[in-house]
């Protein structure tokens, strides 16, 4: 696991037009990290996830959802095929419930085991205007990353994805990896505080444990793309198929920036609709929140609260 694989080359980045001062950071992420082993692991996971992962092969990464029988999202995970096992990352708040779901329904005659990777491995995400530039400065040895694949170097796994138009680079390393932390120390960048991750994910509309907690459907939290309607049976499949046949989703996720902090709960908007605040964080100048509202909400809707300036962003 996380064996050293030398990949020679440079990232394809126009460094002449990029400033190191761009707003790009390394965020430590509170994730559940597990490794599932067994010859029939892919088949077993495909019966659990709402996403078709039958094409997952060694060196590949596929993101997916675990949903309950009512079709609501219980966790958002990423699966990395390492050959002898599949490394699975999920939301840290859902660690216990997710591991129960991952091991649910394993037949007695299938040799599949789930190992706890928390403590042994650490998860970081690089987000910002110049994510690739930051990674190139830390690891000039890497080739350009490709979606749905991961690369390894010096006991670190690297992969890239896209969420709402933002590049997100995932970094998974062994805890106490002196080479990784030394590279960060010697660069112009640094690892953000753990509490900064909430603000970063809210800015790009990435759900956390307050959204992926068996209360919302995939489309409600902007994760409809991870539902494969043409695959076989999985928990929630009938609900997803029924909703698809009835037409467009009813809810959507939005971001609110305000001059004061909001409490969790429902708020009225100027277009006559409401928004339910599910996550919140504070940056240096603004308060940021994620909320769930009607899919028909106006993009210029404002909160109806005295002395509160607000801006709503559709995600």
256 and 238 share one domain: no
| Per-residue pLDDT reduced to its tens digit, 154-184 | 999 999 999 999 999 999 999 999 999 999 9
Q: Please check whether residue 295 lies inside any domain of the structure.
A: yes
Residues 195 and 268 in one domain: no
**pLDDT per residue as tens digits for the range 186-212:** 998 899 999 999 999 999 999 999 999
Give me the pLDDT at residue 3, please: 37
Residue 69 counted as domain residue: yes
Q: Looking at the structure, do residues 150 and 237 belong to the same domain, yes or no? A: yes
Query: Could you tell me the residue range of the domain that residue 290 belongs to?
Result: 250-314
Position 3 in a domain: no
Q: Are residues 141 and 256 in the same domain?
A: no
Residues 197 and 261 in one domain: no
Last residue of a domain, one of 194, 211, 245: 245
- Give the model's pLDDT for residue 4: 29
**Among residues 224, 245, 266, which one ends one of the domains?**
245
The answer as to whether 158 is a domain residue is: yes
Is the same domain home to 167 and 265? no
- The number of domains in the chain is 2
Residue 151: strand pairing partners: 158
- pLDDT tens profile 52-82: 999 999 999 999 999 999 999 999 999 999 9
The verdict on residue 59 lying in a domain is yes
Together in a domain, 226 and 282: no
| Together in a domain, 125 and 28 | yes
**Same domain? 308 vs 165:** no
Beta strand 274-282 with 265-268: parallel, antiparallel or unpaired?
Answer: antiparallel
Last residue of a domain, one of 215, 245, 275: 245
Residue 1 lies in a domain: no
Q: What is the CATH number of the domain that holds 293?
A: 2.40.30.110
Domain shared by 127 and 140, yes or no: yes
CA atoms within 13 A on the CB side of 124: 23
> pTM for this one?
0.90
- Tell me the DSSP string of the chain: --------S-----GGG--TTSSEEEEE--EEEEEEESTTHHHHHHTTBSS--TT--TTBEEEEEEE-TTS-EEEEEEEEE-SSEEEEEEEGGGHHHHHHHHHTT--TT---EEEE-BTTEEEEEEEETTHHHHHHHH-TTPPPP-TTBEEEETTEEEEEEEETTEEEEEEEEETT-HHHHHHHHHSS--BPPTTHHHHHHHHHT---TTTSSSSS-GGGGT-GGG--TTS---TTHHHHHHHHHT-S-SEEEEEEEESS---SEEEEBTTS-EEEEEEEEE-SS-EEEEEEEETT--TT--B--TT--EEEEE-
């Amino acid at each position: 696991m996380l064996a050293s694989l030398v990949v020679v080359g440079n990232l394809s980045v126009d460094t002449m037009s990029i400033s190191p001062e761009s707003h790009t950071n390394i965020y430590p992420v509170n994730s559940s990290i597990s490794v599932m082993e067994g010859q029939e692991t892919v088949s077993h996971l495909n019966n659990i996830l709402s996403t078709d992962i039958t094409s997952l092969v060694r060196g590949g990464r596929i993101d997916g959802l675990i949903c309950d029988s009512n079709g609501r999202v219980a966790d958002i995970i990423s699966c990395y095929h390492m050959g002898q096992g599949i490394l699975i990352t999920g939301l840290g708040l859902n660690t216990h419930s997710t591991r129960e779901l991952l091991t649910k329904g394993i037949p007695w005659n299938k040799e599949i085991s789930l190992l706890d990777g928390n403590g042994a491995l650490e998860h970081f995400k690089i987000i910002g205007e110049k994510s690739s530039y930051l990674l190139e400065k830390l690891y000039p040895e890497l080739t350009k990353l490709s979606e749905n694949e991961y690369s390894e170097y010096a006991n670190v796994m690297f992969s890239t994805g896209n969420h709402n138009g933002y590049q997100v680079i995932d970094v998974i390393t062994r805890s106490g990896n002196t080479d990784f932390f030394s590279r960060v120390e010697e660069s112009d960048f640094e690892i953000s505080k753990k509490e900064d991750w909430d603000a970063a994910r809210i800015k790009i509309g990435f759900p956390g444990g307050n959204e992926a907690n068996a209360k919302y459907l995939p489309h409600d939290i902007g994760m409809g793309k991870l539902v494969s309607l043409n695959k076989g049976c999985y928990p929630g499949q009938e609900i997803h198929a029924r909703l698809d046949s009835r037409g467009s989703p009813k809810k959507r996720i939005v971001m609110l920036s305000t001059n004061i902090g909001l409490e969790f709960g429902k708020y009225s908007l100027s277009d006559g609709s409401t928004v339910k605040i599910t996550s919140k964080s504070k940056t240096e100048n603004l308060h940021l929140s994620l909320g769930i509202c009607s899919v028909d909400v106006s993009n210029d809707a404002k909160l109806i609260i005295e002395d509160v300036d607000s801006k709503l962003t559709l995600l």
